Structure 1
Amino acid sequence: MANYICELSKRVERQHVRYNNRYGIAIAGDLYTPKGMEDTKKYPAIVVGAPYGGVKEQGPCVYANELAQRGFVVLTFDPCYMGESGGEPRHVSSPDLFSENVSAGVDYLGLLPFVDREKIAAIGICGSGGFALSAAQVDIRIKAVVTASMFDMCAAARGGQTAEQIEKRKEELSLKRWEDAQNGTPEYIPSFPEDAVTDIPDEMQGIWREFFEFYATERGHHDNARGNFTTTSDMSFLNYSLTDYISEISPRPILFIVGEQAESRFFSDMAFEKAAEPKQMIVVPNCNHIDLYDDVTKIPFDRIEIFLKETLK
């Protein structure tokens, strides 16, 4: 299904592509290229990951559409088990698999004759910010990382809970596996309605209200992005850390972009503290978490362009 949340620039071409990740799962992607590319030139390239639960037609298309106009080849994709990508059962999530999806995009880009293999970067929006950092920790082909409203899904899984609360959650998830095994399919409970709505429930506040504003309304609604994953997917996030080796990305640079008003800002602050130089942080004024998904008046594309062209020159 199409339903892209932004209009494609007349200066950009978009082509649907398919390729496999390391586990042999087919990944559905969109390749954005500047119109009028020179046949003999090799271009810098970027793989863009969607917010956790999002698909390529949402935030990634906004970034790809803009950056392709600035001379980059850009790949967006649906994570495995989601959207138009392969993987059964649907809506399964894993920090390892989702980080692997970023490296699989690098695989694909590096095989294109018009891409310079030494000039490939990764951009991760929200949850994909953590996955992009995790991928770059071990995949040295990723020469730079940009995160926007970075959300560390593994840290969030434990998020301020006591040891007793975490133990209770493990028990709930473990017993849920018995139910899933008996039913023959894992439980999946969507977070957002099937059709776009206009009203946001009054009781929904904070960052969850922001998520609802994007995913449940015409602003960002997409049939392939109803939110949440199979219930037992949380087990792998409780048992994994995304940024333990973030300092090993150095000397490759990282650019963190956060909204001044974003409740999620502390994730970027913590990762920035752990990261080694070179690293930069851009705090966007009058900006919340989801504004960095799609608001081109707030996403600092000029700064992103400068950062990537200086890094990949």
Structure 2
Amino acid sequence: MLKTLTLAAATAVALAASNAEAAPRIERVTFASHGEQIVGELYLPEGLAAKPAPALVVTGAWMTVKEQMPARYAREMADRGFVALTFDFRGWGESGGARRQYEDPKAKIADIKAAVAYLAGRSEIDKDRIGGLGICASSGYMVSAAAAIKSVALVAPWLQDAEVVEQTYGGKDGIARLEALGDTAEAQYRSTGKQAFLPAASLSDERAIMFKVPYYSEPDRGMIPAWRNEADPAFWRGWLTFDAIQAAPRLRQPFLMVHSEAAAIPQGAHKFYARLTNSKQELWLENVTQFDFYDRAAPVKAASDAVAAHFRATLGSAGEAGQ
């Protein structure tokens, strides 16, 4: 089902639906993924029922840490009654891993599966009612890890295949330049053990992976002390060949996508959605940029309301028995 909301309407819907009275309790947690320690934060809603509750794994954009957009959405989900887990992937933030700031799709997919397994082992969580909420780049990781979860929601998803990559990164020549940059950094790492870091984001340094973009370059938004503004460019080949859209025909979980034509690569989202064969819904907001989805009040609340409604319908609420 396709829905489109203006931002004004989205604001009204969000304000009407948001009725949280108390902040969630946040518990620092650790678990293991492939021999490394993962550090996370578990958001526990006020008045959690005695019965095992549904829970969500919440993941964010590439090169980010749990305190950025994942924290915002985890709190929104907890405000709406869901236990929500955010965490730093291996090599990022507070989590372990010798190779730092390296965007590795395969490793991140494995870490999502480890996070689901951790939630399933907690007594207050119903292991049969665990869902996944992916934001931006981690949407591709979430759908690739979806066999471990019961329901999927994506916000501002970055969903790519070879065709979308070519459209996005300057055609075959642009891809070749990035792959060459990455291969040089990878060769240095293999020969010396040292990583060749570049700025992840910058308003002035053209070497930055994200040059002249908002959010990451704004101290009152994504440029927070917990985030290290560096990236290992050796990631490029693995990222550019990562195909998230191929997961669509295999997805059997109930699915919701919230996006905007004004946000990043909507063509990839449309392609992914068209290839889904199971229960699916989409909500398109008007004139919402990719970065607005990360922390701007109206789009975040509108997206969160839709996501919470999806998970209530597919996982049940905290006081209900398993579906």
**TM surpasses 0.5:** yes
The answer (yes or no) to whether the contact 1:125–1:149 under 8 Å persists in 2 is: yes
The superposition leaves residues 122-165 of structure 1 with CA deviations (integer Å, 9 ceiling, x where unpaired) of: 001111111111111xx2x3111111111136656554554455
- Give the Cα separation in 2 of the matches to 1:89 and 1:78: 14
2:56 corresponds to 1:53: no
Give percent identity, aligned residues only. 26
Pick one of 178, 182, 186 that aligns with 1:177. Answer: 186
Q: What are the Cα deviations for residues 91-135 of structure 1, in whole angstroms up to 9, with x where unaligned?
A: 122111111121111111101111111111100111111111111
1:121 has 2:131 as partner: yes
What's the secondary structure of 1:220's corresponding residue? Answer: coil
2:3 match? none
2:159 and 2:265 in contact (8 A); partners too? no
Whether the 8 Å CA contact 2:109–2:144 is kept in 1: the answer is yes
* Structure 2 match to 1:62: 72
Give 1:230 deviation, angstroms. 1.0
Q: Quick check: 125-134 or 152-161, which moved more?
A: 152-161
AA aligned opposite 2:104: S
Q: 5+ residue gaps in structure 1?
A: 1-7, 194-199
User: Structure 2: where are the runs of 5+ without partners?
Assistant: 1-19, 317-323
Distance 1:142 1:43, change over 3 A: same
Secondary structure of the structure 1 residue equivalent to 2:298: coil
Counterpart secondary structure, 2:250: helix
Aligned to 2:200, what secondary structure does the other structure show?
A: coil
Does the 8 Å CA contact 1:95/1:237 hold for their aligned counterparts? yes
Q: For 1:148 and 1:215, how far apart are their aligned partners in 2?
A: 21
After the TM superposition, which residues 280-299 of structure 1 pair with which residues of structure 2 at under 5 Å, given as runs?
280-299=281-300
**1:311 aligns to 2:314 (yes or no):** yes
Aligned to 1:32: 43
Asked if the contact 2:116–2:149 (Cα under 8 Å) also holds between the matched residues in 1, the reply is yes
Distance 1:177 1:128, change over 3 A: closer
Aligned to 1:268: 269
Distance 1:222 1:160, change over 3 A: closer
* 3-state SS of paired residue (1:71): coil
Displacement of 1:245 after TM fit? 2.7
1:156-171 to 2 correspondences below 5 Å: 158=166, 159=168, 161-163=170-172, 165-167=174-176, 169-171=178-180
Deviation at 1:74, TM superposition (A): 0.5
Structure possessing the higher relative contact order (Cα contacts under 8 Å, 6 or more residues apart): 2
Shift of 1:64: 1.2
Is the contact made by 1:261 and 1:289 (CA closer than 8 Å) also made in structure 2? Answer: yes
- Please say if 1:76 is aligned against 2:76: no
Q: Secondary structure at the match of 1:213?
A: coil
Shift of 1:243: 2.8
Shift of residue 249, structure 1, vs aligned partner: 1.1
Q: Give, as a single letter, the amino acid of the residue that structure 1 aligns with 2:39.
A: A
- Say which SS state the counterpart of residue 145 (structure 1) adopts: strand
SS in structure 2 of the partner of residue 244 of structure 1: helix
Provide the residue aligned with 2:140 in structure 1: 130
Between the aligned partners of 1:260 and 1:305, the Cα distance in structure 2 is 22
Counterpart amino acid of 1:220?
G
Is 1:147 matched with 2:158? no
In structure 2, do the counterparts of structure 1 residues 235 and 306 end up closer, same or farther at CA, with 3 Å as the change threshold?
same
- C-alpha distance in structure 2 between counterparts of 1:285 and 1:238, whole Å: 28
Shift of the alpha carbon at 1:227?
4.6
Equivalent residue of 2:224, what SS?
A: coil
Q: 1:179 to 1:208 in 2, by over 3 A?
A: closer
Q: Is the 8 A contact 2:93 2:228 kept in 1?
A: no
Seen in structure 2, the aligned counterparts of structure 1 residues 167 and 51 have a Cα distance that, compared at 3 Å, is closer
TM-score by length of 1: 0.83
Q: Deviations over 1:217-240 (max 9, x none)?
A: 322212343455311111222343
